Amino acid sequence: MSEKLFVRFLDRTTPPHIVTLVLLAGLSALTMNIFLPSLPGMAAWFDAPYALMQLSVALYLGLSAALQIVIGPISDRYGRRKVLIWSLVLFLIATVGTIVAPTAEIFLAFRMAQAVVAAAMVLSRAVVRDMVADAEAASMIGYVTMGMSIVPMIGPVIGGFLDEWFGWQANFALLLVAGGAALWLTWSDLGETATIRKVGLMDQVRTYPLLLSSQRFWGYVLCAAFASGSFFAYLGGAPYVGTEIFDLSSSEIGALFALTAVGYAFGNFLAGRFSVRVGMNRMVLFGTLVVTLGMGLLAVLTMGGLHHPVVFFGLTLTMGMGNGMTLPNANAGMLSIRPELAGTASGLGGAIQIGGGAGLAALAGILMKPGATELPLVLLMFGSALASLLAILAVIRRARRLGVMS
């Protein structure tokens, strides 16, 4: 955080404390993954096919992507604070709906409405970019997402135990409490950081070509999208792999999900510690190499006949670690294209990333047919990781051709 900024905790006249940004981003992550160990049990509760309940991941991600297209420009126009507060209020209403839903279809409708909490992820990044500049932004985003990773690390573990003790609804009750706490904290601590631009929403949308015509913007966005795509594919298929292939309980799956987040936390620490010194592009390159090599090794072992939950879930440590290094820096690079459009860039780039993730999560659900092994999912994760590596190599090649390297 810049030393020139005056930040006082629980003072809504100053920029937010980093703790507030961590918890906002953490709520978004927790909403995405706390209930994953419950998916098979939820399918049985609603007497619905697993593929239908798995849409609670894919549809949520898809709507998150769509919302991020407008969240960024709206926050540039009306401010980060107002958009966050209203988004959290709507999230609380949607969460109540998921708890009382009588059918799978009604549950999915309210689950999609929960996607409004995407504002917390988008605007926590935009607020960082409002407060500090390029390399320092990458470092601060790294620390924010490192703290954020603690939440998804323990989320599936808690979710698995809550499911076994109280039923799947307890997961969403916890989200209701967390959402209420986030709303109070946002109201009390998050001062406005955006420079309000008195232009209409359509004028904001017309700025998209300024970003979409940038090769560097596309390089960072595609790199982040494919890197996180491995993780989203994992979210879509791993619960099925755990229950149907390895015969694990909800609590065991939740505990194994934590391995990815442990790796992510460590990768975020490396990003926060070394991004300024090493440079954004090199940190992204190192991160994508870690994910690609880890998923490549998993693919080789799986094709060699080594089928074991320790192998499958254990090697996701590399996916978490690599993404922890890659995503803060790729996101900071994406936001650096046009700093005055940080909210728009965060929303548009996030929409592309999450939209791609929704597609991969849905594809993973399709691949996990009765009788399938984990191999199709592993190959999907490896292919997405390899694409992220190629994307950052293209960015680095262009930077060297222009005589710039960061």
What residue ranges do the domains of the chain occupy?
A: 18-194+208-401
Output the pLDDT for position 328.
82
Q: How far is CA 340 from CA 76, 111, 211, in A?
A: 9, 33, 12
pLDDT average per 10 residues of sequence, the chain (406 residues):
58 77 84 83 86 81 80 79 93 96 93 91 77 63 63 75 88 95 91 68 67 83 90 83 85 81 84 80 93 96 90 91 89 74 71 77 77 88 95 89 66
pTM above 0.95, yes or no: no
Cα first-last separation, the chain: 20
Output the pLDDT for position 2.
43
Please state whether 5 falls in left (phi above 0), alpha (psi between -120 and 50) or beta.
Answer: beta
CATH superfamily of 18-194+208-401: MFS general substrate transporter like domains (1.20.1250.20)
**DSSP result, 100-128:** H--SHHHHHHHHHHGGGGHHHHHHHHHHH
Q: Where are the beta strands (DSSP E) in 29-84?
A: none
Nearest-angstrom CA–CA distance, 200 and 288: 38
Output the pLDDT for position 146.
61
Q: Which of 123, 121, 115 is nearest to 73 (CA)?
A: 123
Output the pLDDT for position 182.
92
Q: Which of 109, 118, 14 is nearest to 348 (CA)?
A: 118
